[in-house]
Structure 1
Amino acid sequence: MNNTARIKKNIRLIKLQKLVIVSVLIGFLSAFLGLTLKKLTEYYEEIFFSQASLHPLYIFIFPVFGLSVIYFLRQYVFNKKENKGISEVLESTGSRSKNLPKSKIASHFINGLLTVVFGGSTGIEVSTVVATATIGSVAQRKQNIFKQYKTELICAGVAAGITALFNSPFAGMFFAMEVISRKVTRTFLITNIIAVSIAFGLIFLIDEKPLFAVNITTWHLRAIPYFILLGIIAGINSVYLTRCVLFFKNNLSQIKSHYYKILIGSVILSCSLFFFPQLFGEGYHALKMIFMNPNEVKLSSSLLYTFIGIILLKPIVTSATLFSGGDGGVFAPSVFIGAFLGLFVALLLNTYLKANIIPVNFMVLGMAALLSASIHAPFTAIFLICGLTNDYTLFLPIVLVCIISKYTAKLIYPHSVYSYAASVAK
């Protein structure tokens, strides 16, 4: 081997070593940030929701207070930088010159936390994605040899953050691939596998439990036509969610005053929470309650009213939260709506068609189907929901409903919230 070849080989080895080291650091920092935000949000959301349940007046105070604090933080602490969600990550990966500023780590962490604990009807997932993407973005700017791997290192941060939130390294990998990168290179595989491995190791170390305790026993082939029906309904409902978000974003953008935006968003949010407290924050507290014994739930007029109200209002209050300055996206709302939609469909089929299907299965399938259709990422939805429940019994039905729901949604409306934002940015 001549000297030139030896030098080239040594340079490649040095690059690989540095990529491994930076991937380990990105994986640990992103997972730690994601877990910290998750734990803080769960803790304070429970406290604030309990207070709002005991004292209904707080339902009208919390949203306007939380959104106002977020506005003043953004104006006077975070240099008036607007939080655009995942679209700013896509803008960064699609451009050599645009980078995510360091302030995005703190701004999305704090604003995401404040949005949810004060009742904003969204989730911390998108806040985590942008904050962890910024960790990857900052890392790639530290040395010249990393600049060509900008997208891969950003994706490593995102993948580790999603892994930490949902206990699923596959969900982290697929989300980074389907939504952020949309391509797979050898460097992508190296950096992202290392990052999610570190994240999963941290989850294992602290013995993080699945978010939902679900008892799934089996599923039956005779239920496949009903699975297909659920996939189609979820696809239609996801378009409703997407169009609600885009309507508030595009049609109400002429309102320039931030105070009016906060007021409008707070009124919509507070009035909705007063009648349907399940819409408070991420809504996972409501899902945990209903997951306790969904197979024993019987359809009644009051329950029918609750299901219809939640399914119709959640997209509106999510859109109002984001429009008025809240931090978040459609990730958690999709999971929330999907669970209630799945249970609603199951109860209707059992009550009026005597279908004899298993409601808990339809809750899990609904979560996966609506998430897949909302973000146009079926593989992310498949492994994310399996990670949330720590159960792969429904793996094949989940694959089926995720694919059907995604293509139903794309047939009706070609964009997700993320792809629409990316197309506008171009």
Structure 2
Amino acid sequence: MHDIFKTTLTRQARLSAHVWQRRMVFWGGAVVVGFTAVLFSLGSEYANRLFQRLPGYSPYLPLLVTPLGLTLIVALTRRFFPGSEGSGIPQSMGAIALTNHADRTKVLSLRIACGKIGLTMVGLLVGASVGREGPTVQIGSAIMYSLSRFARFSRLEVERGLILAGGAAGIAAAFNTPLAGIVFAIEELSRSFEERTSGNTMTAVVIAGVVSLGCMGNYSYFGHTSISLPLNLSWMAAVICGLAGGLAGGMFSLILISVAAKGLPGRAGSIMKESPVLFAGICGLLLALIGLASGGHTYGTGYAEARGIIEGTDNLPPSYAIMKMLATLVSYLSGIPGGIFAPSLAIGAGFGDNLAGIMPIAPVSAVVILGMVAYFAGVVQAPITAFVIVMEMTDNHTMILPLMAASFIACAISRRICPKPLYRTMAEGFISRIKSPG
């Protein structure tokens, strides 16, 4: 009896040690993800500012720098960092579905994470219309997954724990929006959120958010807006923005999915398939021409332009939203690493600004924010994540109900145009390309 009791205590002690070891991996990983996201943010903003100086010397310099830059990025991506191209969110989603460790490491490894960071910043340095938030999801997932070697994890814990928590922590730290990180993990990264892993995920999100808060301070990307929408005819703005944003966002997603599945038609499609590095250079030239036509406003993440539109201090052409959408589309199709979160918010703000000119029934800033959330929801088809991110980034809780309305309307319209969600479809493509036989 004494031996049985002693054996039971020993087993419990070992189990407790394993539990605390796993927790330390989660907590330590979340700290690393938080610091990495902060450094990535600072580096990306610095690269973006450096490029903004270029047109000051000559507005035609991007015609040389951007094509050469995109050519170099794609060459390095295909040679040294395959799996790092594009947003990064589909890779994390695909990794959750994969069961083979070797397959997962093709999209989640420290080497790919380093490549994602460096090449995304180079993309911003040469004027690509990309964001760092999607890449931060893949980077966070890769960091957390790489730490699994330091503790004993079951398959479920790896899938629903480390990868999920890393991606959610990346969103929380990238946007400085912890609530959005949790919602994103539930709504987008995993459709079947397990109670068993929810605590670890939420803890990782909170820790990464605290690290970001401690390093960057308590701020919101688009400042503080106290604008509200009275419960009267002005609510039509939420409906109209939802319809327009869903239509535009759904078309954007449909184009990306169609090109990913079938390629471009004609000679352009042949070059894209047979000479991807040359195709990237052509995309760079198109990107520079779009930038030249827009007065240099379509380069980079679009954060400055979106904030200027919200605050009413912008000096953008009426065609800004369309040109930014084209620049983002060209940047993504070029095959470089980079996300569409930040550019989508800027595009939505541009569309909102256009709609505000024909809707005097509502305050301009309110329509801009509604346009932002509607287009974003139309692209990602994750309505809760969309309105939570915009709500936290504008530090405005008085607009929550109209934001919800516009977001859900946009998502419904987008699904009519593009039945398959963008990220989930891209994730299926990654899975089919990297999955080992058997």
TM-score (norm. length: structure 2)? 0.87
Code of the aligned partner of 2:67: V
Q: CA separation of 1:407/1:147 partners in 2, compared to 1, >3 Å: closer, same or farther?
A: same
Deviates more, 1:247-256 or 1:276-285: 247-256
Q: Distance in 2 between matches of 1:371 and 1:75?
A: 29
- C-alpha deviation, 1:312, in angstroms: 2.4
Per the alignment, residue 18 of structure 1 pairs with: 21
Q: Distance in 2 between matches of 1:107 and 1:189?
A: 30
Per the alignment, residue 171 of structure 1 pairs with: 180
Q: CA separation of 1:177/1:8 partners in 2, compared to 1, >3 Å: closer, same or farther?
A: farther
Code of the aligned partner of 1:292: E
Per the alignment, residue 344 of structure 1 pairs with: 354
* Contact map agreement 1:283 1:336 (CA 8 A) in 2: yes
Deviates more, 1:401-410 or 1:381-390: 381-390
Code of the aligned partner of 1:69: L
* Contact map agreement 1:248 1:319 (CA 8 A) in 2: no
Deviates more, 1:245-254 or 1:262-271: 245-254
Code of the aligned partner of 2:350: F
Per the alignment, residue 135 of structure 1 pairs with: 143
- C-alpha deviation, 1:9, in angstroms: 4.7
Code of the aligned partner of 2:257: L
Q: CA separation of 1:52/1:402 partners in 2, compared to 1, >3 Å: closer, same or farther?
A: same
Code of the aligned partner of 1:258: P
Code of the aligned partner of 1:262: A
Cα deviation 1:4-25 (Å, max 9, x = unaligned): 7656654553343223211111
Per the alignment, residue 417 of structure 2 pairs with: 412
Which residue among 287, 312, 315 is the counterpart of 2:306?
A: 287
- C-alpha deviation, 1:187, in angstroms: 3.2
- C-alpha deviation, 1:147, in angstroms: 3.9
Code of the aligned partner of 1:58: L
Deviates more, 1:403-412 or 1:240-249: 240-249
Matched, 1:194 2:198: no
Percent identity over the alignment is: 23
Matched, 1:394 2:406: no
Cα deviation 1:282-308 (Å, max 9, x = unaligned): 1112223333326xx8xxxx97xx33x
Where in structure 2 are there 5+ consecutive unaligned residues? 433-438
SS of the aligned residue for 1:282 comes to coil
Per the alignment, residue 30 of structure 1 pairs with: 33
Matched, 1:204 2:213: yes
Which residue among 83, 86, 90 is the counterpart of 2:85?
A: 83
Please give the residue correspondences for 1:47-196 in structure 2 after superposition, counting only pairs within 5 Å. Answer: 47-78=50-81, 80-81=82-83, 83-84=85-86, 85-97=88-100, 98-99=103-104, 100-151=108-159, 152-196=161-205
* Contact map agreement 1:216 1:360 (CA 8 A) in 2: no
Matched, 1:316 2:326: yes
Q: Distance in 2 between matches of 1:92 and 1:215?
A: 38
Which residue among 284, 287, 299 is the counterpart of 1:269?
A: 287
Please give the residue correspondences for 1:215-364 in structure 2 after superposition, counting only pairs within 5 Å. Answer: 215-222=225-232, 223-249=234-260, 250-252=262-264, 254-255=270-271, 256-276=274-294, 277-293=296-312, 306-307=317-318, 309-350=319-360, 355=361, 357-364=362-369
Q: State the Cα RMSD in Å.
A: 2.3
Q: Distance in 2 between matches of 1:369 and 1:6?
A: 56
Per the alignment, residue 376 of structure 2 pairs with: 371
Q: Distance in 1 between matches of 2:121 and 2:154?
A: 31
Q: Distance in 1 between matches of 2:75 and 2:281?
A: 14
Cα deviation 1:345-374 (Å, max 9, x = unaligned): 111112xxxx2x101111112222222221
* Contact map agreement 1:212 1:389 (CA 8 A) in 2: yes
Cα deviation 1:395-416 (Å, max 9, x = unaligned): 1111111111111111222122
Matched, 1:39 2:58: no
SS of the aligned residue for 1:42 comes to helix
Where in structure 1 are there 5+ consecutive unaligned residues? none
Q: Distance in 1 between matches of 2:89 and 2:368?
A: 27
Q: CA separation of 1:122/1:248 partners in 2, compared to 1, >3 Å: closer, same or farther?
A: farther
Q: How many residues align?
A: 411
Q: CA separation of 1:221/1:5 partners in 2, compared to 1, >3 Å: closer, same or farther?
A: farther
Deviates more, 1:245-254 or 1:155-164: 245-254
- C-alpha deviation, 1:41, in angstroms: 1.1
Q: CA separation of 1:184/1:56 partners in 2, compared to 1, >3 Å: closer, same or farther?
A: same
* Contact map agreement 2:21 2:151 (CA 8 A) in 1: no
Q: Distance in 1 between matches of 2:59 and 2:19?
A: 57
Code of the aligned partner of 1:34: A
SS of the aligned residue for 1:140 comes to helix
Cα deviation 1:61-97 (Å, max 9, x = unaligned): 231132123134325543x555253222222110110
Code of the aligned partner of 1:348: I
Q: Distance in 1 between matches of 2:209 and 2:109?
A: 27
Code of the aligned partner of 1:52: P
SS of the aligned residue for 1:244 comes to helix
* Contact map agreement 1:122 1:332 (CA 8 A) in 2: yes
Q: Distance in 1 between matches of 2:252 and 2:208?
A: 31
Q: CA separation of 1:192/1:93 partners in 2, compared to 1, >3 Å: closer, same or farther?
A: same
SS of the aligned residue for 1:182 comes to coil
Q: Distance in 1 between matches of 2:397 and 2:49?
A: 29
Code of the aligned partner of 1:364: I
- C-alpha deviation, 1:246, in angstroms: 2.8
- C-alpha deviation, 1:316, in angstroms: 2.5
Q: Distance in 2 between matches of 1:273 and 1:11?
A: 61
Q: Distance in 2 between matches of 1:217 and 1:257?
A: 50
* Contact map agreement 2:225 2:395 (CA 8 A) in 1: no
